Amino acid sequence: RKRDRQPARQTEKERVRNGRAKEIMISREKQERTRRERESERERETERKREREKQRETEREREREREREKC
């Protein structure tokens, strides 16, 4: 009865193939992580730009107020 026997050990070919598959999986995960990090960095940069622009606008408003007060 073949079913009762333990499964055959991995052949060298299978071991190599599985190792490669694992390496590929790991490298894909790394790429994905890198991509997510870049994306979130871009989002933070956009947010910073927005903040700076808001500050500039506020500064311009203050300037206009000063100009009006002079008149």
The reply to whether the predicted model has a pTM over 0.85 is no
Give the Cα separation of 55 and 26 in Å (integer).
Answer: 43
Q: Which two tokens stand for residue 30?
A: 């790394």
- Which pLDDT tens digit goes with each residue over 3-15? 677 777 888 889 8
2: in domain? no
Residues 6+ apart with CB under 8 A from 18: 10
41: in domain? yes
51: in domain? yes
Q: Which two tokens stand for residue 35?
A: 């991509």
Domain count, the chain: 1
64: in domain? yes
- Which pLDDT tens digit goes with each residue over 36-70? 999 999 999 999 999 999 999 999 999 999 999 98
4: in domain? no
23: in domain? yes
Give the Cα separation of 14 and 7 in Å (integer).
Answer: 14
The sign of the CA dihedral 33, 38, 44, 46 is negative
Structural domain including 20 reads 12-70
